[in-house]
């Protein structure tokens, strides 16, 4: 079992206080957005044996287990993160596996550098993800029913939004959502800047259900993503609740601290709320124009105190243990690779004492006994 030394990403949207508060350290004044735990080449975790990439590359079957290697290849299939949003992230979608493979192959064939700002596909993998709230956590997830979105836009009393309201009323669901998002993202930039300014002022004045969009507009003045965001469901997770985000589902995280797990990929198609490249035709090809409830997940009780967040994919499986004072020792040994992350209290994992924000990598078949008082998240795969 290897204690992990993890990289913290200082993205501009990151909170300056959430991770230091969890770690019990003093804030630096700089944003601390994400702590990465895993073997992503962009920021692999470090161990006493080298980076986790180097450790796995040296003996994939020993570290990952033959079942995981047979199913996913000689790499860790997931990336675990602590995510601390102090400002809204970009409005975005992720491709499915077929779309990712095709898109990556096409950009490779055309010689688009992987580091190019207009590159859409950094790898050939899909990126389903799960976010589990550690604090109250705000986000946007999936499309509202078109008539509900129309009512929200209409309630602002902004004349330049009326064409979008009419479109939402005039078509079947998929066509309505597609036409409105297309119209928003292809509108004249000067006209959209004025529309967003009027929309922001109205949201600020009305408050209530409009308050999240006033805050988004404050961070991204003039961005068409402010209007696009109003097509989506606003979700407020309580600690322990989670959201699963599959391929093609538009989403954005707005504020809060959570544990995030995803397939080991960096493929993102952006819709707005970002200064980065927005490839509208490719985005519209990837988005699933389906309205519905965002589907808040709560953990399901499993054996030996494990609480599992059920998802429909195999690249990752997230669960947690809430360990009471004086409780029994739990044997977490598996034939698949694991990362164990403490988020509260003090938990002993093998020889390692884990405090909030610390983690270990457990190779396949390695004895993994945990005890103590606190909360432990377990990330592994379904092989």
Parallel, antiparallel, or unpaired: how do β-strands 352-354 and 338-349 relate?
antiparallel
**Smallest Cα–Cα separation from 19: which of 241, 308, 11, 298?**
11
Instruction: Kindly name the residue from 270, 317, 320, 378 that is annotated as catalytic.
Output: 270
DSSP 108: H
Instruction: Check if 110 is active-site.
Output: no
Q: Map residue 240 onto helix, strand or coil.
A: coil
- Could you give the residue ranges of the DSSP H alpha helices within the chain? 18-23, 52-58, 60-64, 66-72, 97-109, 146-154, 162-170, 173-185, 189-206, 211-219, 225-229, 280-286
Q: Which of 186, 211, 214 is nearest to 198 (CA)?
A: 214
| Tokens standing for residue 176 | 């309505």
First CA to last CA distance, the chain: 20
Do 192 and 278 contact (CB within 8 A), yes or no? no
Question: What residues are annotated to the active site?
Answer: 270
């Amino acid at each position: 079992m290897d204690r992990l030394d993890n990289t913290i990403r200082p993205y501009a949207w990151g909170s300056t206080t959430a991770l230091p508060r969890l770690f019990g350290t003093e804030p630096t004044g700089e944003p601390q957005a994400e702590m990465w735990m895993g073997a992503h080449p962009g920021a692999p975790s470090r161990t006493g044996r080298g980076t986790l990439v180097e450790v796995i590359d040296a003996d994939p079957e020993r570290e990952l287990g033959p079942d995981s290697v047979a199913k996913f290849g000689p790499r860790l299939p997931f990336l675990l993160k602590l995510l601390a949003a102090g400002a809204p992230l970009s409005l975005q979608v992720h491709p499915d596996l077929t779309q990712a493979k095709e898109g990556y192959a096409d950009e490779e064939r055309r010689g688009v550098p992987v580091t190019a700002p207009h590159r859409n596909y950094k790898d050939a993998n899909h990126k389903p993800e799960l976010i589990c709230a550690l604090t109250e956590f705000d986000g946007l997830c999936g499309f509202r029913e078109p008539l509900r979105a129309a009512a929200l836009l209409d309630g602002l009393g902004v004349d330049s939004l009326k064409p979008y309201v009419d479109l939402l009323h005039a078509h079947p669901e998929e066509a309505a959502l597609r036409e409105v998002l297309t119209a928003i993202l292809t509108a004249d930039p000067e006209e959209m800047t004025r529309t967003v300014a009027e929309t922001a002022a109205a949201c600020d004045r009305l408050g209530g259900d409009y308050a999240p969009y006033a805050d988004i507009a404050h961070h991204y003045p003039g961005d068409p993503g402010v209007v696009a965001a109003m097509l989506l469901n606003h979700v407020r997770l309580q600690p322990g609740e989670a959201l699963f985000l599959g391929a093609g589902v538009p989403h954005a995280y707005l504020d809060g601290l959570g544990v995030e797990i995803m397939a080991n990929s960096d493929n993102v198609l952006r819709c707005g709320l970002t200064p980065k490249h927005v490839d509208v035709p490719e985005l519209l090809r990837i988005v699933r124009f389906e309205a519905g409830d965002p589907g808040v997940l709560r953990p399901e009780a499993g054996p030996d105190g494990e609480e599992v967040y059920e998802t429909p994919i195999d690249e990752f499986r997230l669960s947690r243990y809430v360990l009471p004072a004086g409780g029994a020792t739990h044997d977490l040994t598996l034939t698949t690779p694991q990362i164990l992350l403490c988020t509260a209290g003090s938990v002993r994992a093998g020889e390692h004492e884990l405090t909030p924000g610390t983690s270990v990598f457990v190779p396949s078949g390695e004895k993994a006994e945990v005890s103590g008082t606190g909360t432990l998240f377990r990330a592994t795969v379904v092989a």
